[in-house]
């Protein structure tokens, strides 16, 4: 379909010319280009009020972010050739970074493919489409992935709530290959089996791999507490580094059963002890029992998904970190994360410091981590820098 012009209101192009690719509905000159006449996902050419050409993209009149720029070269509109070029660029970066094919292959806007996430598990791909524009190009995207990577299996993990904002249905479906059970990946010499059809996100959290590798530098001691453990990425890393008693806390019985199976797969089951329950309740119970740990790992889901969640989410982060710090031995290590974009790095540091004060601990920030380089940050799109991980030493307050 031919791309229609999408004309901005006066002086609304500055952010886009600086590199951002999101266009909000209140930035459109709706008299010059009535949004309601556009179909969800329709290709558009974005123009300034003075008709300066800005880029090729796609629109969705039903979404607050009503358009996204995909290409800034006039000769390269949305097409199978563009998808192929972007995938080759993305693959070149990952092959430069990784010796094993286990990583996020496409990270949306940062890889010039807004609305598309692709995680690679060897010759298997978990794909997530989050926008109407990418949904419209779904067949072309899948064909490009098959051409570039020759996968044996592709699973579409289109079960994220973000799709609702775009007017899209949620589903999980296998679009290539026969059902073959679990997918196995390796990280730092450990093997993990994940369920591509039912696990969280796309089955694995590749974004924390670099931070998990950093644990080796600090040593984890004998007793480790892993909160929101999911299927064991942090727990097994700690056990492999020598921890003899790893307590893995998660609300999901299925995730803990998978964690136990992964521990057995790596010969670490005697060191890892699953504990099902709500993170806050379990931490309080452990504190009241007088339990203490040499390392506490906190990797919760996002507590602040929207700006309106900020107050409650900030309080939840502070409560979780205070409880974690109260369970640490003097001199112990706290590794704490936030994947909430709305909780900035400075804000998160402040929350952890306040938690330390309430727990009666003096803190030393040893290192800060972010998502790994397979989740590159787009310098003009701060929303792509979402993960914060702090490595903190906790000392008595005196």
Supply angle C-alpha 257, 297, 229, rounded to 5.
15
Strands of 195-309, DSSP E: 223-227, 245-250, 272-276, 293-298
- Of residues 224, 230, 229, the one with CA closest to residue 296: 224
The burial class, CB within 10 Å (0-12 / 13-18 / 19+), for 195 is middle
Burial of 292 (0-12, 13-18, 19+ CB in 10 A): middle
Q: Which two tokens stand for residue 117?
A: 């996430």
Determine the 3-state secondary structure of 364 from DSSP. strand
Backbone angles phi and psi of 75, in degrees to 5: -80, -5
Parallel/antiparallel/unpaired status of strands 116-121 and 124-129: antiparallel
Q: Which of 53, 47, 56 is nearest to 76 (CA)?
A: 56
Q: Is 202 exposed, middle or buried (0-12, 13-18, 19+ CB in 10 A)?
A: buried
Query: How far, in Å, CA of 281 to CA of 249, rounded?
Result: 11
- Please report where in the chains the tokens 């003075």 appear, as a residue: 50
DSSP 25-84: GGGB-TTTS-GGGSPTTEEEEEE-TT--EEEEEEE-TTSSEEEEEEE--TT--SSHHHHH
Which among 21, 66, 228, 339 is annotated as catalytic? 339
Token output for 262: 């992964």
**Burial readout 235-248 (b: 16 or more C-beta within 10 A, e: otherwise):** bbbbbbbebebbbb
- In whole angstroms, give the CA distance from residue 6 to residue 82: 20
The Cα-based distances of 145 to 101, 207, 249, 360 in angstroms read 15, 21, 37, 53
Say whether 66 is catalytic.
Answer: no
Distances in Å between the alpha carbon of 57 and those of 110, 153, 213? Answer: 15, 29, 38
Q: Which positions are catalytic?
A: 339
């Amino acid at each position: 379909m031919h791309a229609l012009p999408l004309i901005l209101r006066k002086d609304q192009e500055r952010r886009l010319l600086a590199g951002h690719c999101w266009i909000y509905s209140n930035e459109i000159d709706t008299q010059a280009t009535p949004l309601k006449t556009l179909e969800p996902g329709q290709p558009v050419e974005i123009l300034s009020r003075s008709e300066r050409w800005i880029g090729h993209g796609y629109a969705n009149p039903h979404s607050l972010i009503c358009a996204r720029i995909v290409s800034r070269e006039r000769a390269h509109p949305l097409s199978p050739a563009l998808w192929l070029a972007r995938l080759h660029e993305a693959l070149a970066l990952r092959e430069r970074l990784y010796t094993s094919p286990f990583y996020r292959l496409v990270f949306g806007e940062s890889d010039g493919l807004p609305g598309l996430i692709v995680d690679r598990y060897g010759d298997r791909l978990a794909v997530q489409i989050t926008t109407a524009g990418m949904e419209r190009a779904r067949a072309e995207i899948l064909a490009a992935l098959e051409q570039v990577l020759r996968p044996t299996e592709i699973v579409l993990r289109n079960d994220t709530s973000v799709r609702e904002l775009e007017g899209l249905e949620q589903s999980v479906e296998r679009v290539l290959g026969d059902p073959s059970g679990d997918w196995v990946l390796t990280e730092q010499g450990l093997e993990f089996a994940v369920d591509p059809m039912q696990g969280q996100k796309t089955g694995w959290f590749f974004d924390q791999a670099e931070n998990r590798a950093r644990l080796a530098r600090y040593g984890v001691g004998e007793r480790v507490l892993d909160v929101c453990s999911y299927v064991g990425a942090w727990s097994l890393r700690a056990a492999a580094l020598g921890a003899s008693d790893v307590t893995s806390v998660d609300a999901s019985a299925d995730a803990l059963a998978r964690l136990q199976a992964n521990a057995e797969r790596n010969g670490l089951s005697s060191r890892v002890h699953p504990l099902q329950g709500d993170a806050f309740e379990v931490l309080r119970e452990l504190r009241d029992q007088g339990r203490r740990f040499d390392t506490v790992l906190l990797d919760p889901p996002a507590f602040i998904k929207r700006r309106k969640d900020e107050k409650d989410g900030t309080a939840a982060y502070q409560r979780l970190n205070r409880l974690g710090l109260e369970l640490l031995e003097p001199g112990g290590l706290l590794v704490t994360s936030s994947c909430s974009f709305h909780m900035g790095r400075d804000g998160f540091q402040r929350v952890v410091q306040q938690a330390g004060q309430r727990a009666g601990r003096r803190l030393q920030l040893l290192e800060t981590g972010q998502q790994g380089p397979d989740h590159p940050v787009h310098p003009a799109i701060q929303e792509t820098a979402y993960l914060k991980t702090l490595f903190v030493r906790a000392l008595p307050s005196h």
